[in-house]
Amino acid sequence: MSQAVATGDLAPSPAARPRRRFRVRAAPTLGVLILALLLVCAIVPQWVAPYAPLKFDYRATLRPPSAAHWFGTDNFGRDLLSRVIWATRIDMQIALFSTLFPVVFGTFVGCLIGYFGGIADVLFRRLVDLVITVPFLVLVIAIVAVLGPGLTNMYIAVSSVGWIFYARLIRAEILTQKRRDYAAAGRVMGYGWPRIVFRHLLPNAITPVLTYWMTDMALAILLGSSLGYLGLGAQPPTAEWGVLIADGKNFMSTAWWMSIFPGIAIVLAGVGFSLLGDAVASLFRRR
């Protein structure tokens, strides 16, 4: 110990742990890169896509991938690469809007239920029982059927059930945190419950929620594209990756590229969000 201080060498030299550092950095960097790429496609598709997505070309229908059309063309002669790029915006929106309300509302409600408990807690746990017994997909489809197909209704359907998972997560964390000494200290100092819950308990409890949010965005894209495939999500002519895949369903044997490439975009987005989720988790772990 004394030797370390004497030579002023407090941090381990980079040479001492080169391998560890590199492996930890590679995955999240990849995630950030992927998402950056997707964001660019979402925000300014017109600069990225080689063709306009609605540009029909009846002379070039169902062409396989080539130099002119990297992803081939569909049955209307539209360039698939451009359609996939333009669809990025919709799917990114799906990731965000499907999860935003659940995160905010779920965290808020979960905090209160976790802190106050009581009958609200009993009711909440019954609600959770209910939601995990009926498969999420079935519930969402049922609600969308009631409201009618479309993206907005899908967001409503997903949000109305999705917040419960966040609430459950934060409730568990709050239950742990409120037993900690700093919570008792706050009470002793006479702080009102809003201050204790939101200013003190919440920041300590938020980490798993943020990590879950990242993975949830990936799941939202999976769900959104599944509903798009079934015809319940984005409606034509809106291009969404799931819808694009469904468009290619009838051309499976003749134009496999129509279904395969949009799917690759979905996988890419999923991987990107998951890697980002891992990065968030390890970021907080190191603190």
Q: Which residues bind another protein (CB under 8 A)?
A: 1, 3, 126, 129-130, 132-138, 141-143, 145-146, 148, 218, 222, 225-226, 229-230, 242, 245, 249, 252-253, 256, 259-260, 263, 266-271, 274-275
Q: What is the nearest approach in angstroms of another protein to the Cβ of residue 209?
A: 19
Q: What is the nearest approach in angstroms of another protein to the Cβ of residue 266?
A: 6
Of the candidates 220, 106, 119, the one whose C-alpha atom is nearest the C-alpha of residue 173 is 106
Contact 219, 210 (CB under 8 A): no
Of the candidates 215, 235, 217, 228, the one whose C-alpha atom is nearest the C-alpha of residue 262 is 228
Alpha helices of 117-201 — where are they, by DSSP H? 119-133, 136-147, 151-177, 181-188, 193-194
Q: What is the nearest approach in angstroms of another protein to the Cβ of residue 186?
A: 34
Q: What is the nearest approach in angstroms of another protein to the Cβ of residue 251?
A: 10
Contact 38, 88 (CB under 8 A): yes
The dihedrals phi and psi of 79, each to the nearest 5 degrees, come to -70, 120
Q: What is the nearest approach in angstroms of another protein to the Cβ of residue 238?
A: 18
User: How distant is the alpha carbon of residue 26 from its chain centre?
Assistant: 20
Q: What is the nearest approach in angstroms of another protein to the Cβ of residue 94?
A: 12
How far is the C-alpha of 118 from the C-alpha of 202, rounded, in Å?
19
Got the DSSP string for 53-71? TT---GGGTTPPS-SS-TT
Q: What is the nearest approach in angstroms of another protein to the Cβ of residue 224?
A: 9
Strand, coil or helix: 245? helix
Q: Which residues pair with 79 in a beta bridge?
A: 73
Nearer to another protein, 14 or 133 (CB): 133
How far is the C-alpha of 100 from the C-alpha of 97, rounded, in Å?
5
Cα distances (Å, whole numbers) of residue 43 to 85, 91, 256: 10, 12, 28
Nearer to another protein, 3 or 189 (CB): 3
Whether the ω angle into residue 194 lies within 30 degrees of 0, i.e. cis, is no
